[in-house]
């Protein structure tokens, strides 16, 4: 079955540091890849996505590139802020046969703590 | 306006009780989901409905029963609550042929 593996946290950084959160996946099909962010006390929200190989998703200074050859989708940001402190989830969505719905698979989440 | 809304936000109850969580989305999406998030933030899909039809039913105790009266609503009823049911439950929706998920704010269930 499909799976997503992301680095364990917490990741602790100082403000303006460079961030990388690793994510690798296994999938039977050709999935779409996502990063979601969960701020304290809230639900998950989409941060960025990529739907095919070599696509780069970007949003709010975060980037991730769909690497089919290494089955990876690592999240990066050049300069983190205290407000980026949250839990980050890597996810994939693979096509389900009936109804055109997509089955989502999430990683275990990586907590990011940014200190001033 | 909240796109995916869940009620209640907090639910504290005793073991053995029956409780329901409601979810409504105003995005016009055809597909809705229920997830369980444990204390370590692990997110596990429980159910998914597409146009009121059950399409994903993961290994979940049959004490959990989803009900979708129409495609904008997906409620979760839990019978005979157990300590291990304590978690945050998230409702989400997505377009039937798209795949971005839109999550509600969650319901924190505490079973005492």
Strands (E), chain A: 3-6, 11-14, 19-21, 23-26, 32-38, 44-50, 56-59, 62-65, 75-77, 86-95, 102-106, 110-115
> Is pLDDT above 80 for A20?
yes
Query: What is the percentage of chain A residues whose pLDDT exceeds 90?
Result: 78
CA of A28 to nearest chain B CA: how many angstroms apart? 17
Q: What is the average per-residue pLDDT within B9-15?
A: 97
CB contacts, 8 Å: A108 with chain B: 40-42
Q: Is the pLDDT of residue A99 over 80?
A: no
What is the interface size between A and B, counted as CB pairs within 8 Å?
67
Closest CA to A5 of B42, B35, B24, B93: B42
Residue A88 has pLDDT above 80, yes or no: yes
Residues of chain B positioned with their CB less than 8 A from the CB of A38: 41
pLDDT tens sequence across B30-55: 889 999 999 989 999 998 888 888 87
pLDDT over 70 for what percent of chain B? Answer: 96
Query: B111 - beta bridge partners?
Result: B13
Q: What is the pLDDT of residues B83-96, one digit of tens each?
A: 999 999 999 999 86
- Asked if residue A8 has pLDDT above 90, the reply is no
What pLDDT sits at residue A96?
A: 62
Share of chain A above pLDDT 70, in %: 93
- Residues of chain B with Cβ-Cβ distance to A46 below 8 Å are 100-102
Give chain B's mean pLDDT: 92
Which A residues 15-74 touch B at CB under 8 Å? Answer: 32, 34, 36, 38, 41-46, 49
Is the pLDDT at B67 greater than 80? The verdict is yes
CB of A103 within 8 Å of a chain B CB? The answer is yes
In this predicted structure, the answer to whether residue A100 has a pLDDT above a threshold of 70 is no
Q: What is the pLDDT of residue B96?
A: 67
Residue A78 tokens read as 């050049």
Which is nearest to A43 in space by CA: B76, B23, B102? Answer: B102
Would you place residue A98 in the very low, low, confident or very high pLDDT band (cuts 50, 70, 90)?
Answer: low
A7 to chain B, any CB pair closer than 8 A? The answer is no
Check whether A70 has a pLDDT greater than 60. yes
Give A75-95 as a DSSP string. Answer: EEESS--GGG-EEEEEEEEEE
CA distance A37 to chain B (A): 11
Chain B residue nearest residue A35, CA to CA: B100
- Checking if the pLDDT of A33 tops 70, the result is yes
- Contact criterion met (CB < 8 Å) for A104 and B42: no
- Specify the 3-state DSSP secondary structure of B83: helix
Mean pLDDT within B58-67: 90
Higher pLDDT, A50 or B98: A50
Pick from B4, B43, B97: CB nearest A100: B97
What secondary structure does DSSP assign to B27-65, as a single string? S--SEEEEEEE-TT--EEEEEEEETTEEEEE-S--TTEE
Q: Is the pLDDT of residue A71 over 70?
A: yes
């Amino acid at each position: 079955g499909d799976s997503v593996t992301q680095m364990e946290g917490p990741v602790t950084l100082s403000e303006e540091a460079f961030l990388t959160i690793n994510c690798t996946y296994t999938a039977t099909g050709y999935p779409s890849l996502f990063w979601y962010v969960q701020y304290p006390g809230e639900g998950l929200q989409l941060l960025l996505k990529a739907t095919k190989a070599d696509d780069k998703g970007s949003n709010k200074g975060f980037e991730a590139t769909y690497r089919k050859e290494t089955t990876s989708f690592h999240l990066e940001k050049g300069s983190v802020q205290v407000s980026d402190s949250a839990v980050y989830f890597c996810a994939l969505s693979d096509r389900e046969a009936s109804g055109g719905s997509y089955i989502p698979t999430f990683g275990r989440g990586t907590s990011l703590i940014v200190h001033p | 306006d909240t796109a995916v809304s869940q009620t209640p936000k907090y639910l504290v109850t005793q073991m053995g009780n029956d409780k329901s969580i409601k979810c409504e989305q105003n995005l016009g999406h055809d597909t809705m989901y229920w997830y369980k998030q444990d204390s370590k933030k692990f997110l596990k899909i429980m159910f998914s409905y597409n146009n009121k039809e059950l399409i994903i039913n993961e290994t979940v105790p049959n004490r959990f029963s989803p009900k979708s009266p129409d495609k904008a609503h997906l409620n979760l009823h839990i019978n005979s609550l157990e300590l291990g049911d304590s978690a945050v439950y998230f409702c989400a929706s997505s377009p039937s042929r798209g795949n971005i998920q839109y999550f509600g704010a969650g319901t924190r269930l505490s079973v005492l």
